[in-house]
Each structure stands twice: as structure tokens, then as C-alpha cells.
Amino acid sequence: MTDSSSAAAAAPAFPTLLSPLRLGPRTARNRVWMLAHATLLVKDHLFTEEHVAYYVARARGGVGVITMEAMATHPTTQPYKGKAFAFDPRMVEQYRKIAGPVQAEGALIFAQPWHRGRQTNSVTNGLPVWAPSAVPCAVYREMPHVMTAADIDKIVEGYRLSARYAREGGLDGIEVHGMSHGYLLNQFLSPATNHRDDAFGGSIENRLRVVEEILEATRAEAGPELVVGVRINGDDGHEGGLTPDAWADIARRLEATGKIDYISVSQGTYVDRMLIYPTAPGEHGYQMPATRKIKQAVDLPVVGAGRIVSPAEAEGFLAAGDCDFIGMARQLIADPDWANKAASGRAREVRPCVGANWCMTTIFAQAPIACIHNPAAGAERQFSDDTLKPVAEPKKVAVVGGGPAGMRAALTAARRGHEVTLFEAKDRLGGQVALWAQAESRRELVGIVDWLSDRLAETGVRVRLQTLADSERLRAEGFEAAVIATGAEALRHGWTPLRPQNWNGPPVPGCDGARVYGYLDVLNDLPALGETVLVFDALGGRQAAVVAEVLIRRGHRVTFATQLGQPSPDLAASRDWGKTHGMLRRLGMDFRVDVELTAVEPGRALCRDLYTGAAVEIPADDVVLMVGARARDALFHELQAEGAALDLHLIGDALAPRRANDAIKEGERAGRAL
């Protein structure tokens, strides 16, 4: 090998990403920045051990800078109970218990004081919503109290106290939030939401006044030894909002104050939250064109973001000069070791964020943060790799079913030292996740299957496809433990939960016919269907949207009908209801709501309006039903009844048909329990 080729071989794959950079009085060890995001690991406004473990795991994983989740600067910004109060003097001790462990791992850690303004409601705290003008939020729709000059002083004081307690608590810096994502300071800055005629409205100088007062107070408290930054938008993304050019001008003005050390850029408001945290599909790095304008306008370091998943993507944006740091939230939820893997030549091992927004769904449900395929996210003290103990006496383990539950169980059991065989009756692994990935909008879900498949290949797991594992085979081959992950089969009776008395009786007339399918039948076998298809959904989840998309892209004319008041209401939790149904409408989808299926006849489906009783006829050569699924648990009960001397576990849809994250987490639990 020549000297030049030796040098090339020794050079890091991601030289800019892994290089240090000065941030005011501190130096970040690399350009990987964990962006602030809600966790709901905070209890009674204070940090928990789970909260500390969550951030320590990302610091240990090699992240250069961590901005903790947004913390309230005033009691009027409390969207839910699990929110820290940055203005509370108790935060000093809270910061101390997290700063030391994170800094010991080599990361910088910042507080992020913020106020939501109109983008909240008064349900949790009983206090009126504060905003610069009486303009309600598109999501919460609550009329705000128009802030007085005294109210503005209170907000400035809240930011001041937040900075003081961050310094006293031993943090490395403060990121002033509220100028991005349509929060309070964004509302002051934008003419769309600031209709004031006093010293805080009108000209850009007036609209910027409260921000400048906050930065003055923050720097005074932080002193020269702490980093101070701001989180701004690069584009509000809605009519009348601030454009990239307007934000570039604001960035120049903020830099000119001399009070800040960096600018972190995002985009979007609650008018369109898919600009903030879009689900797949979506262009990775979609925010970079607007961020580049900010970068070109200032000399300060700029943090860029926008669905960046791989180290190669990150290096590309840095090398192009779009930004100085790569900010990520969801990708570091999915894989806290992202930076270490990039640095150690293991970028191919990164567990990708697949854009499912399960992290958002859990927060919507007031549950701690989680990831669709990282079972340790938010549960690091239970499920991180550091807690995985090798077995003293390895067992011969059969995992029956190669969906996400079975794959995860096999992987975890093998990592602990068991001798594992994974049986799958079909010719491929992945179960329903692989089926859903047929839809263009869900294609990134294949990342779950690919990641698990690649990790299984690194272990000694024996994968046996197209192999039916019955009780006789398990006995004959001498297995000592069995994990049953045989999934579920779709129901075809046609009844909705409004008719529980009919659930196990005769089907809706015609639903036992040859032209009626369960949704899994369609995704599994892709049968030749007629020109017109009715997709009838009784569940309200994503299944019907996925099936409808697959069918309409195959050229069928599809009607989506449901007894619910809107199609797929569960998508509100992942924030992409509008995105998904906008896509389906553009494809030509016909939606019918508030109807139940009463009969299927040749060429048509008969329905009934729930509230008027009027008959509704829908043309349909074929009908696809989403009315639930039945667990395939026969093998488990057979082994149990036989009294087989097996350590036996039932997981995933075979236990109860639910979601991919449930299946994966149960697979992890089973692998640890063996």
C-alpha cells in the first residue's frame, strides 16, 4: 500500500461531522447535536432517574451537544403535567444531577427555556393562554389573552431566572427557544400573529424588542462562561408567515446584539406541523435550503436539521457548507449510539429513524417517549444494551414467527448467549411491517426489518424460512424454550365495535363471499381485484390508509368508508392525519364517514347512515375489511395443554393484535426472560 493510500485508509469516513468546533466559551467534541424534544419523563416538574438515564445514554453514545427538552419560563405555558419549570429555583439541584453525568461522558448540555404562547390551551393549568394578539392557534383554537406590557416583563423575567438557574446548576449553556415552531417569540416576530400597535408591534425593530430584552437578560445571568444560543425558524411555511429572507434578516440582527454564540434553525408552526416533524416519506434534509440562507447571513455557528438519518447525509450537508452542526432528535431517539457508530466505522449498524412518529404518538397519549423499534428509548434503565446480561446456562431456543416480535426476541436471546432457531412459514422475514412497507408512504418501515435482519446475521441465529414449526417439530428437535410470535389473521365478519353482540356470530350478509377480503389477505397475496373496491374500516388506525393507498396506486377506484366521524382518526397522534389524507385525496380517494356496512352484494356494498338510518349504496366489485384481527395462538395453547417441558412465551400479535412497537418491546422482554 502506498503512503497516499495508507493515509486515505486511515482518514475518518466523516471528517467534518467528527471534528470539534468552538461554541463561544466551550468546544463541542463533534458536530452531532441532539435537539430538544419532549420526553414526558419529567414528573411533578422535576427530573426523574429515567430522564437522567435518557440523556446520559445519548452522551455516552458520542453526541457532542445536547439541548434538553423545552422548559417553561412562566406558569402559562404548561401543555401537560410532565413539563419542567425553568423559572423554579428547584431546577438548580435538578440540573446538577444531570449535568455531571452527561459532562462526564464528554457532551455539552444546555437548557432550553421557552413559552408556547397561543399554541397550547388552559386545560392543564387553568390559566388563560398568553399571546401578543388575540389570534387563536390552528390546533388548540383557544382565544388568547392579549399580553400587556406587565405580562411581557414577566416573560422576560422568567427567561432571566431560567438562565440564572441553568448557570447555578452547572449546565454548559442556554438555548433561548420560542422563535421557532410558532411559539411565543415567533408570534411576536411574525406579522401574521402580531397585530399590536404599541412598542412591541409594527416594525421589525418593535417586533424584535421582546427578544432583545430576553437575550440581554439571559446573557447578563449567563455571564461570559456559558454558551448562549437561539432557536429560530428558517421558514414559517404558511401564508403571511416569515419567509427565509425575513429569517435571514432576523438572524443578522440577533448576531449584531453580540449576546449569542450560535443559531439553531428549524422551520414550521402549528399551522402545518409536518414542517416541524414530518412522517415518512419526506426528503431528508428538507430544511437545508432555508438553513443555508441563515448560514450565509451570519458568521456564528449554525445548527441545521430536517429528517437527517445517516452519517453520510450529515457529512454531505456539512461539507456543502449548509450548516456547522447537524441537529437530530428522532434519529437519536432511535439510536443513541449514532455518533459512536459513525466514528468507529459502523455506520451501517445505525438503527434508522423510519419516520413513523411513534415518539410523537406516545407523547400525544401522555406516555413517556418511545420509539417504534428501539425498545430502550425512554426505558434505558430497563432495556439498554448495558443492562443485557449473558446467561449462565444457554438454552436451545425456538422462536416461531419471523415478524418484528420474533426477530427481536431471537436477536436479544442470541445476544445473551442462547442457541436460537427462528422459524418463519413464509419465504421472508418482517411480518406485517414488511407488508405495510409496500405502501409508498410507509416504505421507510422496511428499515425496521432490514436492521433486525442485519443484526441477526451478526449472531449465531439459525433462520429457517418456509418452515412450519409445530409442536411435533419442537419436541423432535429438542428445544428447551419457545417464543411463540405467530402473529394474527384478519377478521372478515364485517361488524364494527358498535355491534359487540354480533362479533362471534354470523357475518354481515355477503361478507363470507369470495369477493370479500381481510386487509392482511390483500397485502399478503395481492389478489387480482376488480375496478371498484370498498375499503371498510372499523378501527380508525393506519391499516385502512395503507391498504387504500396500495390499491389506488395499483389503479383501482377506491372508496374509503367508516362508521367513525373521520377516516383514520388515530393518525392525529402521529400528527400526519392531514398529510396522509391529503395524499389519498390527491390520488382520487372517495371518503364516506358515519356509515356501517349492512350487506355485500355483487357489484355493490350496502351501508346505513348511523344517524339518519338512510341507505347508502357504494359501487364495489370487491370489499376489503379492517374490522380487527384474531391472534394466531393455537400453537402456544397446544404446547401448554401438552404440558411440554418448555420455557414458553407468547408475544406480539399472537398475544393480542396491536402495534409494531408492542411486538418489538415484547420480543425484547421475552429475549431477556429466557
Query: Which tens digit of pLDDT belongs to each residue from 308-353?
Result: 999 999 999 999 999 999 999 999 999 999 999 999 999 999 999 9
Q: Which three cell numbers stand for residue 490?
A: 384478519
Q: Which three cell numbers stand for residue 125?
A: 393549568
The full DSSP string for 101-159 is HHHHTT-EEEEEEE--TTSS-STTT-PPPEESSS---TTT-PPPEEPPHHHHHHHHHHH
* Model pLDDT, residue 11: 54
- Which domains are seen in the chain, by residue range? 12-383 (3.20.20.70), 390-487+633-673 (3.40.50.720), 490-630 (3.50.50.60)
Percent of the chain with pLDDT over 90: 95
* Model pLDDT, residue 4: 38
Q: Rounded to an integer, what distance in angstroms lies between the CA atom of residue 559 and that of residue 48?
A: 48
Cα angle at 537 between 627 and 426, to 5 degrees?
A: 60
Q: What's the burial of 275, exposed, middle or buried (CB within 10 Å: 0-12/13-18/19+)?
A: buried
* Model pLDDT, residue 644: 73
Q: Rounded to an integer, what distance in angstroms lies between the CA atom of residue 433 and that of residue 543?
A: 11
* Model pLDDT, residue 9: 42
Question: At 273, which helix (H) or strand (E)?
Answer: none
Q: Which three cell numbers stand for residue 163?
A: 438562565
Helix residue ranges, H only, 459-497: 471-476
The full DSSP string for 580-609 is HHHHHHHTT-EEE-SEEEEEEETTEEEEEE
Q: Which of 512, 510, 621, 604 is nearest to 556 (CA)?
A: 621
pLDDT under 50 in the chain at which residues? 1-10
Q: Rounded to an integer, what distance in angstroms lies between the CA atom of residue 483 and that of residue 408?
A: 11
Residue with cell string 349492512? 598
Residue 18 Rama label (left phi>0; alpha psi -120 to 50; beta): alpha
Average pLDDT, the chain: 96
Cis peptide before 113 (omega within 30 of 0): no
Note whether 135 and 94 are within 8 A (CB).
no
Query: Which tens digit of pLDDT belongs to each residue from 293-313?
Result: 999 999 999 999 999 999 999
Q: CA end-to-end span of the chain, whole Å?
A: 49
Query: Which tens digit of pLDDT belongs to each residue from 430-488?
Result: 999 999 999 999 999 999 999 999 999 999 999 999 999 999 999 999 999 999 999 99
